[in-house]
Amino acid sequence: MKVSNKIKIELDKKFKNENLVKRILRTSLLLFYRVVFKKFTYGHELRLGIPLWLSKGSVKLGDYCYIGPRANVVSELVVGDMVLISSDFRVIGNDHGFNSIGEPMRISESDSKNIITYIENDVWVGEGVTLKQGVRIGRGAIVGVKSFVNKDVPPYAIVAGIPAKIIRYRFTAEEIKAHEDIIYSDLLK
Protein backbone atom coordinates (compact mmCIF):
# COMPACT_ATOMS: atom_id res chain seq x y z
CA MET A 1 0.00 0.00 0.00
CA LYS A 2 1.50 3.35 -1.07
CA VAL A 3 1.39 6.51 1.04
CA SER A 4 -0.99 9.40 0.37
CA ASN A 5 -0.02 12.29 -1.89
CA LYS A 6 -0.32 14.69 1.06
CA ILE A 7 2.38 12.78 2.97
CA LYS A 8 4.58 12.63 -0.17
CA ILE A 9 4.31 16.42 -0.63
CA GLU A 10 5.36 16.99 2.99
CA LEU A 11 8.34 14.65 2.61
CA ASP A 12 9.37 16.22 -0.70
CA LYS A 13 9.41 19.67 0.97
CA LYS A 14 11.65 18.30 3.71
CA PHE A 15 14.15 16.80 1.25
CA LYS A 16 14.05 19.71 -1.23
CA ASN A 17 16.44 21.79 0.86
CA GLU A 18 19.18 19.17 0.83
CA ASN A 19 22.69 20.48 0.22
CA LEU A 20 23.61 20.20 -3.50
CA VAL A 21 26.90 18.40 -2.79
CA LYS A 22 25.07 15.83 -0.65
CA ARG A 23 22.47 15.31 -3.38
CA ILE A 24 25.18 14.76 -6.03
CA LEU A 25 27.08 12.31 -3.79
CA ARG A 26 23.90 10.42 -2.91
CA THR A 27 22.81 10.19 -6.55
CA SER A 28 26.27 8.97 -7.59
CA LEU A 29 26.27 6.33 -4.85
CA LEU A 30 22.84 5.06 -5.88
CA LEU A 31 23.92 4.83 -9.51
CA PHE A 32 27.01 2.89 -8.42
CA TYR A 33 24.87 0.39 -6.51
CA ARG A 34 22.52 0.01 -9.47
CA VAL A 35 25.43 -0.78 -11.80
CA VAL A 36 27.32 -3.10 -9.44
CA PHE A 37 24.25 -4.88 -8.05
CA LYS A 38 22.03 -5.38 -11.07
CA LYS A 39 19.01 -6.32 -8.96
CA PHE A 40 19.15 -3.20 -6.73
CA THR A 41 16.11 -0.94 -7.18
CA TYR A 42 14.91 1.96 -5.08
CA GLY A 43 12.12 4.48 -4.84
CA HIS A 44 11.96 8.23 -4.50
CA GLU A 45 14.32 10.04 -2.06
CA LEU A 46 16.24 7.05 -0.69
CA ARG A 47 18.84 7.89 1.98
CA LEU A 48 21.60 5.31 2.22
CA GLY A 49 24.51 4.95 4.62
CA ILE A 50 27.80 3.55 3.41
CA PRO A 51 29.10 0.97 3.18
CA LEU A 52 26.24 -1.26 2.12
CA TRP A 53 26.94 -4.95 1.49
CA LEU A 54 24.64 -6.85 -0.84
CA SER A 55 25.28 -10.36 -2.07
CA LYS A 56 22.64 -12.81 -3.26
CA GLY A 57 19.26 -11.95 -4.66
CA SER A 58 17.58 -8.66 -5.34
CA VAL A 59 16.99 -5.68 -3.08
CA LYS A 60 13.98 -3.45 -3.68
CA LEU A 61 13.60 -0.33 -1.54
CA GLY A 62 10.47 1.85 -1.45
CA ASP A 63 9.99 5.62 -1.38
CA TYR A 64 11.48 7.80 1.40
CA CYS A 65 13.50 5.02 3.02
CA TYR A 66 16.60 5.40 5.14
CA ILE A 67 19.17 2.63 5.57
CA GLY A 68 22.04 3.33 7.92
CA PRO A 69 25.70 2.46 7.39
CA ARG A 70 27.06 -1.09 7.41
CA ALA A 71 23.87 -2.86 6.34
CA ASN A 72 24.53 -6.42 5.17
CA VAL A 73 21.93 -8.26 3.09
CA VAL A 74 22.64 -11.81 1.89
CA SER A 75 19.22 -12.64 0.46
CA GLU A 76 16.28 -11.09 -1.36
CA LEU A 77 14.81 -8.11 0.46
CA VAL A 78 11.72 -6.01 -0.27
CA VAL A 79 11.28 -2.82 1.78
CA GLY A 80 8.14 -0.67 1.73
CA ASP A 81 7.80 3.11 1.89
CA MET A 82 8.91 5.42 4.73
CA VAL A 83 11.04 2.76 6.44
CA LEU A 84 13.84 3.64 8.85
CA ILE A 85 16.60 1.05 9.18
CA SER A 86 19.39 2.00 11.54
CA SER A 87 23.08 1.12 11.26
CA ASP A 88 24.52 -2.41 11.38
CA PHE A 89 21.36 -4.04 10.04
CA ARG A 90 21.61 -7.67 8.82
CA VAL A 91 19.50 -10.16 6.90
CA ILE A 92 21.07 -13.59 7.40
CA GLY A 93 20.48 -17.30 7.09
CA ASN A 94 20.16 -20.17 4.71
CA ASP A 95 23.28 -19.17 2.82
CA HIS A 96 25.21 -22.43 3.39
CA GLY A 97 24.14 -26.00 2.90
CA PHE A 98 25.00 -28.48 5.62
CA ASN A 99 23.60 -31.84 4.52
CA SER A 100 25.67 -32.72 1.44
CA ILE A 101 27.82 -35.77 2.16
CA GLY A 102 31.40 -35.22 1.08
CA GLU A 103 31.05 -31.47 0.68
CA PRO A 104 32.30 -29.00 3.32
CA MET A 105 29.72 -26.52 4.60
CA ARG A 106 32.02 -23.65 3.62
CA ILE A 107 31.42 -24.33 -0.08
CA SER A 108 28.07 -26.13 0.04
CA GLU A 109 25.12 -24.33 -1.53
CA SER A 110 21.94 -23.92 0.48
CA ASP A 111 18.86 -25.92 -0.52
CA SER A 112 16.58 -22.92 0.08
CA LYS A 113 16.46 -20.51 -2.84
CA ASN A 114 14.45 -17.35 -3.45
CA ILE A 115 13.31 -16.83 0.12
CA ILE A 116 12.24 -13.20 0.32
CA THR A 117 12.39 -11.03 3.45
CA TYR A 118 9.74 -8.30 3.63
CA ILE A 119 9.72 -5.06 5.60
CA GLU A 120 6.38 -3.32 5.08
CA ASN A 121 5.63 0.45 5.13
CA ASP A 122 6.28 2.77 8.08
CA VAL A 123 8.61 0.38 9.95
CA TRP A 124 11.45 1.43 12.26
CA VAL A 125 14.30 -1.07 12.62
CA GLY A 126 16.72 -0.23 15.44
CA GLU A 127 20.52 -0.32 15.42
CA GLY A 128 22.20 -3.72 15.16
CA VAL A 129 19.05 -5.69 14.30
CA THR A 130 19.39 -9.07 12.59
CA LEU A 131 16.52 -10.57 10.58
CA LYS A 132 16.42 -14.24 9.68
CA GLN A 133 15.89 -14.63 5.97
CA GLY A 134 12.22 -15.01 5.03
CA VAL A 135 10.58 -13.10 7.88
CA ARG A 136 7.98 -10.36 7.33
CA ILE A 137 7.96 -7.21 9.44
CA GLY A 138 4.40 -5.91 9.39
CA ARG A 139 3.36 -2.37 8.56
CA GLY A 140 4.02 0.18 11.29
CA ALA A 141 6.11 -2.17 13.46
CA ILE A 142 9.15 -1.21 15.54
CA VAL A 143 12.09 -3.59 16.08
CA GLY A 144 14.23 -2.75 19.12
CA VAL A 145 18.00 -2.29 19.14
CA LYS A 146 20.17 -5.45 18.79
CA SER A 147 17.16 -7.73 18.36
CA PHE A 148 17.20 -11.02 16.45
CA VAL A 149 13.95 -11.52 14.52
CA ASN A 150 13.35 -15.16 13.59
CA LYS A 151 9.54 -15.02 13.17
CA ASP A 152 7.10 -12.69 11.42
CA VAL A 153 6.23 -9.47 13.28
CA PRO A 154 2.56 -8.41 13.22
CA PRO A 155 1.59 -4.93 12.00
CA TYR A 156 2.14 -2.15 14.59
CA ALA A 157 3.88 -4.49 17.05
CA ILE A 158 6.88 -3.31 19.05
CA VAL A 159 9.33 -6.19 19.40
CA ALA A 160 12.74 -6.60 21.02
CA GLY A 161 15.10 -9.23 22.33
CA ILE A 162 16.92 -12.39 21.28
CA PRO A 163 14.76 -13.85 19.89
CA ALA A 164 12.46 -10.84 19.40
CA LYS A 165 9.19 -10.97 21.31
CA ILE A 166 6.20 -8.64 21.27
CA ILE A 167 6.48 -6.02 24.01
CA ARG A 168 3.31 -4.14 23.10
CA TYR A 169 1.56 -2.51 20.15
CA ARG A 170 2.08 1.08 18.98
CA PHE A 171 -1.62 1.84 18.76
CA THR A 172 -5.02 0.48 19.68
CA ALA A 173 -7.22 -0.86 16.85
CA GLU A 174 -9.05 2.50 16.68
CA GLU A 175 -5.76 4.43 16.57
CA ILE A 176 -4.45 2.15 13.80
CA LYS A 177 -7.52 2.93 11.71
CA ALA A 178 -7.12 6.69 12.29
CA HIS A 179 -3.39 6.50 11.50
CA GLU A 180 -3.95 4.56 8.28
CA ASP A 181 -6.85 6.80 7.22
CA ILE A 182 -4.39 9.72 7.25
CA ILE A 183 -1.28 8.07 5.81
CA TYR A 184 -3.05 6.04 3.13
CA SER A 185 -6.04 8.39 2.60
CA ASP A 186 -5.73 8.62 -1.20
CA LEU A 187 -5.87 4.86 -1.52
CA LEU A 188 -8.71 4.19 0.88
CA LYS A 189 -11.27 6.28 -1.03
Convert the pLDDT of each residue in 59-83 to its tens digit: 899 999 999 999 998 888 999 999 9
9 dihedral zone (left: phi>0; alpha: psi -120 to 50; beta): alpha
β-pair partners for 137: 119, 153
Told to judge if 96 belongs to the known catalytic residues of this protein, a careful annotator would answer: yes
What pLDDT score was predicted for residue 34? 67
Work out whether strand 136-137 and strand 148-149 pair parallel, antiparallel, or are unpaired.
unpaired
pLDDT digits (tens, 9 = 90+) for 129-141: 999 999 999 999 9
Q: How much is the pTM?
A: 0.84
Spot the catalytic one: 96, 113, 151, 165.
96
Question: Which regions of the chain are under pLDDT 50?
Answer: 188-189
What are the DSSP calls for the chain, one per residue? -PPPHHHHHHHHHHHHT--HHHHHHHHHHHHHHHHHSTTEEE-TT-EE-S-EEE-SS-EEE-TT-EE-TTEEE-SEEEE-SS-EE-SS-EEE-S-S----TTS-TTTPPPS---PEEEE-TT-EE-TT-EEETT-EE-TT-EE-TT-EE-S-B-TTEEEETTTTEEEEESS-HHHHHHHHHHHTHHHH-
Task: Tell how strand 142-143 and strand 124-125 pair up.
Answer: parallel
